[in-house]
Amino acid sequence: MRRDNNPKSRLISYGADTSGMIVENAPECIRKRAYELFEMRGRQPGHELRDWLQAEREIGSRFGILKI
Protein backbone atom coordinates (compact mmCIF):
# COMPACT_ATOMS: atom_id res chain seq x y z
CA MET A 1 0.00 0.00 0.00
CA ARG A 2 1.28 3.48 -0.90
CA ARG A 3 0.10 6.91 0.11
CA ASP A 4 1.05 9.92 -2.03
CA ASN A 5 1.07 13.32 -0.32
CA ASN A 6 0.49 15.18 -3.59
CA PRO A 7 -2.94 16.87 -3.15
CA LYS A 8 -3.90 16.01 -6.73
CA SER A 9 -3.23 12.32 -6.21
CA ARG A 10 -4.45 11.46 -2.72
CA LEU A 11 -4.85 7.80 -3.49
CA ILE A 12 -4.28 4.49 -1.82
CA SER A 13 -3.29 1.98 -4.45
CA TYR A 14 -3.39 -1.79 -4.49
CA GLY A 15 -1.55 -4.06 -6.94
CA ALA A 16 -2.56 -3.82 -10.60
CA ASP A 17 -5.78 -3.40 -12.55
CA THR A 18 -7.28 -6.12 -14.71
CA SER A 19 -5.12 -5.10 -17.68
CA GLY A 20 -1.99 -5.68 -15.58
CA MET A 21 -1.08 -1.97 -15.46
CA ILE A 22 0.63 -1.01 -12.21
CA VAL A 23 -1.63 1.19 -10.09
CA GLU A 24 1.25 3.50 -9.22
CA ASN A 25 0.83 4.84 -12.77
CA ALA A 26 -2.63 6.09 -11.83
CA PRO A 27 -1.62 9.71 -11.02
CA GLU A 28 0.00 10.06 -14.45
CA CYS A 29 -3.06 8.50 -16.10
CA ILE A 30 -5.30 10.94 -14.23
CA ARG A 31 -3.19 13.87 -15.40
CA LYS A 32 -3.33 12.70 -19.01
CA ARG A 33 -7.08 12.06 -18.87
CA ALA A 34 -7.75 15.48 -17.33
CA TYR A 35 -5.81 17.06 -20.19
CA GLU A 36 -7.81 15.01 -22.73
CA LEU A 37 -11.03 16.32 -21.19
CA PHE A 38 -9.66 19.87 -21.41
CA GLU A 39 -8.86 19.36 -25.09
CA MET A 40 -12.25 17.78 -25.79
CA ARG A 41 -13.87 20.95 -24.43
CA GLY A 42 -11.91 23.09 -26.90
CA ARG A 43 -9.19 24.08 -24.40
CA GLN A 44 -11.51 26.49 -22.62
CA PRO A 45 -10.09 27.50 -19.22
CA GLY A 46 -12.05 27.52 -15.98
CA HIS A 47 -12.97 23.83 -15.71
CA GLU A 48 -9.68 22.43 -14.41
CA LEU A 49 -11.04 21.08 -11.14
CA ARG A 50 -14.05 19.48 -12.80
CA ASP A 51 -11.77 17.84 -15.40
CA TRP A 52 -9.40 16.60 -12.71
CA LEU A 53 -12.18 15.15 -10.57
CA GLN A 54 -13.81 13.45 -13.55
CA ALA A 55 -10.45 11.97 -14.55
CA GLU A 56 -9.94 10.73 -10.96
CA ARG A 57 -13.34 9.02 -11.04
CA GLU A 58 -12.70 7.39 -14.42
CA ILE A 59 -9.16 6.22 -13.66
CA GLY A 60 -10.03 5.28 -10.09
CA SER A 61 -12.82 3.08 -11.36
CA ARG A 62 -10.51 1.50 -13.93
CA PHE A 63 -7.80 0.74 -11.39
CA GLY A 64 -10.08 -0.04 -8.45
CA ILE A 65 -8.54 2.74 -6.38
CA LEU A 66 -10.05 4.01 -3.14
CA LYS A 67 -10.11 7.80 -2.63
CA ILE A 68 -9.23 8.97 0.85
Task: With a cut of 60, say whether residue 23 has pLDDT above it.
Answer: yes
Query: CA 5 to CA 46: how far, in whole Å?
Result: 25
Closest CA to 17 of 68, 66, 61: 61
**What's the pTM?**
0.62
**Residue 30: partners with Cβ closer than 8 Å, 6 or more residues away:** 8, 9, 52, 55, 56, 59
Sheet holding 66-67, edge to edge: 2-3, 11-13, 66-67
Instruction: List the domain boundaries for the chain.
Output: 2-67
31-63 per-position pLDDT tens digit? 999 999 999 999 999 999 999 999 999 988 887
